[in-house]
Amino acid sequence: MAQLEAVVSGVVQGVGFRWWVSRRCEQLGLDGAGENRSDGTVLVTASGGPDALSRLLADLREGGAGRPGSVEEVRATWGEQPT
C-alpha cells in the first residue's frame, strides 16, 4: 500500500472540492479525504494502490472526473502506508 499527501492551492474551498476528493477516492478504491487549511489550501491524504493514487493525482492536477474549483498548484509527497 502506498500513501499520497497533496497540498492543493487555488479556488478549492467552498466549491465542493473536499466532497469531490472523498467521492473520487471512493470511486478509485482508495481511503482518502480532503481537509481545509487556514491558508486557503486543501490537504488531500489518500492511501491504497499506487496506480489508483497516480490517477487521483492526475485528476487533481488536470481537472479530471469533474473536479470542481480552480487548481493553481498541487504539491505531492509519496510514502508507504505504515503496517
Residues with active-site annotation: 18, 36
CA angle 7-50-43, nearest 5°?
A: 15
Burial label for 66, CB within 10 Å (0-12, 13-18, 19+), is: exposed
